[in-house]
Copies of this chain bind each other. A is one copy, B any other.
């Protein structure tokens, strides 16, 4: 059996796994993201000595994904202390001696969802995660989206409902961009307690759904996805997905007469088919691509 390695390199935690070509996860570990040196060393230690055919890495970003760039594989302008300019690629390529496929964490998850999850058979879809940060990726015309760098989707501006929500936002770059208003840290900063401790009927969640629906409706109008996959810890809050679906329909207000949206919103805005494994299994899919690339 040929084995592949996958790393979901998130801003909060790393998930490292080993799987086969069917995307089945045979072994995995999870540990917190601390300093670059310590965190990458733990990942390297996990894979050391394992007979991998290739490795895939889905990393938080922004990250330089242009193979012809001198900074290829490096984190660029993250607000995460210590991680700017970290090389996410060469340590693994050099120490493990196998081909390494690299993309953003959300593009990796999108690839995993396309191969084995909720986006099978689609050619244009979005994967958006809402947790410590907000980030999105996906496919357009059957290819993972890249362009000048890679899609980002979290730092977009949406209308800030100042009357209902005088909170200024937490983004160090933009204040009240979508991530600044609706990420996990924004919820905690606005209400003074972690989101986990807020009850299901707290007004925090209707406001959260409102901002997320603004972000999703804009993505639908901009990319015309065949489906939108919403993952991340905040989407695990009871009732969040149905609220977002209803508010997206209200925001579009009948403008897009697309049956997939107006007649089947439950099938249009969906959770990840791979659940919390979308990231690491997507990284396995990147590894398989690297082995055959």
Contact = CB atoms under 8 A, between A and B. Distances in A.
Interface of A: 62, 76-77, 123-125, 136, 140-141, 143-160, 173-174, 214, 217-219, 221-226, 251, 253-258, 260-261
Contact of A147 (B143, B154, B156, B225): B225
Given A147-B226, A156-B217, 13 more contacts: A140-B140, A145-B224, A146-B224, A147-B224, A148-B225, A148-B261, A151-B223, A153-B222, A157-B218, A159-B159, A173-B253, A174-B255, A222-B223
B221 A148 contact: no
A151 B258 CA distance: 12
A148 B257 CA distance: 11
Contacts of A257: 62, 76-77
B156 A256 contact: no
Given A148-B224, A151-B222, A224-B145, A173 B217 contact: no
B149 A224 contact: yes
A149 B153 CA distance: 20
Contacts of A174: 251, 253, 255
B156 A157 contact: no
A128 to B, nearest CB: 11
Contact of A223 (B144, B145, B221): B145
A260 B151 CA distance: 15
Contact of A258 (B149, B156, B160): B149
B141 A226 contact: no
A256 B226 CA distance: 27
